[in-house]
Amino acid sequence: MSRTILLVVLLFICGIDSLASETLRETLRAAKIPTEQFASSELDAKITSYAISTGDPFLLAYYTDNESGMLQPPLRVIRYSRTARDLRRAAFQDIDSFCLGSALAIHEYHKTIFIETHYNPSAGCVIVLTAGLSLRKAISGGLLGVMGADYAVIRGSEIHFMSVHPLHIFVFDLRQNRLEEVYPFKNDVQRAKFSHSIEPHISEKWCVEYNAQCDPQNFNTTVMGELSLNETARVFGFEAEFDANGFGDAALQHIPSQTVVYIFREQHGNWQHRQFQPRELESLFGSASLQELIRNKPNAPFDPASGK
């Protein structure tokens, strides 16, 4: 796909015309950021599709609005340390094409900056920068959580027009600049059970009519609520809901959705995993919720005495 066509697609999906533009000068002055290092032409230019964090440091990721109706690179980033009175700027022209979408959020954790951009309702990008605004990684997906200075948890992007949206979770090792997929994993008993329950109800006629993949091992999975994190223990978990959408009316009618709790722990560079039914958290660990378990007893699910 050419860059021009890509940008037209982004315009259609993101609807940037609906985003009110203001000048860079107005944005910086509202946040009390000094503007002496900017040319008047920069300050007078309208910005669009931007994300801002007004704390310390102040962060802004934006595009210049050239009134073409399309998002045009570069993606510009400003970081201002209010404490050190240090202003840094960068412009990213050649980030992967899937990252050229509206900036949704920008945050800094432990001297690492994360910018989330929007491609379509099922896809986005996480741009990882140093505090000095050097590019570390551009990752297709969305940021679920950050575990200190070591790890970021990423939900992978999906193909928006597919009949199902299976879940893929990655951990980005910030120290080694390495991305590792941790979910789904092999020999997942709960996924296998749900897959087997779908298979008898698949309608080949329906699958052909709706151009659906209808692979029973590839089904809708949704993260329910927010990620639960314990930075000190290097443990995170989430509740995943399986459903039979995308396999025809019979499958949807006969197969109820199912929720499974997944918990992950880093040990010596490897990610261990456990899975439970939500009701087991109380009976096995005395915790009323996943968040409570990971906050107070993060290593309990990995104790051999748990039987899991």
Task: Tally the residues of the chain.
Answer: 308
Q: Is 180 a member of any domain?
A: no
Helix intervals (H) in the chain: 3-14, 24-30, 40-44, 189-198, 204-209, 249-254, 280-285, 290-296
Indicate if 130 and 276 belong to the same structural domain: no
| Torsion over CA: 115, 21, 122, 99 (sign) | negative
Residue 147 located in a structural domain: yes
**What is the per-residue pLDDT across 214-252, written as a single tens digit (0 to 9) for each?**
999 999 999 999 999 999 999 999 999 999 999 988 998
Q: 177 in a domain, yes or no?
A: no
In angstroms, how far is CA 180 from the centroid of its own chain? 14
The CA dihedral of 289, 290, 293, 294, to the nearest 10 degrees, is: -150
Task: Establish if 11 belongs to a structural domain.
Answer: yes
Number of domains comprising the chain = 2
Residues 255 and 307 in one domain: yes
Do 84 and 194 lie in one domain? The reply is no
The whole-number average pLDDT for the span 255-277 is: 96
* Domain match, 154 and 66 both: yes
- Domain co-membership, 5 together with 84: yes
The answer on 146 and 32 residing in a single domain is yes
Q: Which two tokens stand for residue 203?
A: 């309608």
Note the pTM of the prediction, 2 decimals.
Answer: 0.87
Per-residue pLDDT reduced to its tens digit, 51-101: 999 999 999 999 999 888 788 899 999 999 999 999 999 999 888 777 888
For residue 270, being part of any structural domain is answered with: yes
What is each CA distance from 171 to 153, 155, 242, in whole angstroms?
5, 9, 22
37 within a domain of the structure (yes/no): yes
Residue of 148, 145, 111, 154 whose CA lies nearest to 130 = 111
Residues 141 and 228 in one domain: no
β-sheet bridge partners, residue 274: 263
Residue 118 lies in a domain: yes
Structural domain ending residue among the three candidates 161, 176, 208: 161
What is the domain range of residue 90?
Answer: 1-161
Sheet containing strand 169-173, edge to edge, reads 102-109, 112-120, 123-130, 135-147, 151-156, 169-173, 178-183
CA distance linking residue 46 with residue 28, whole number of Å: 12
Same domain, 155 and 204: no
Answer yes or no: do 82 and 150 share one domain: yes
Residue 179 belongs to a domain: no
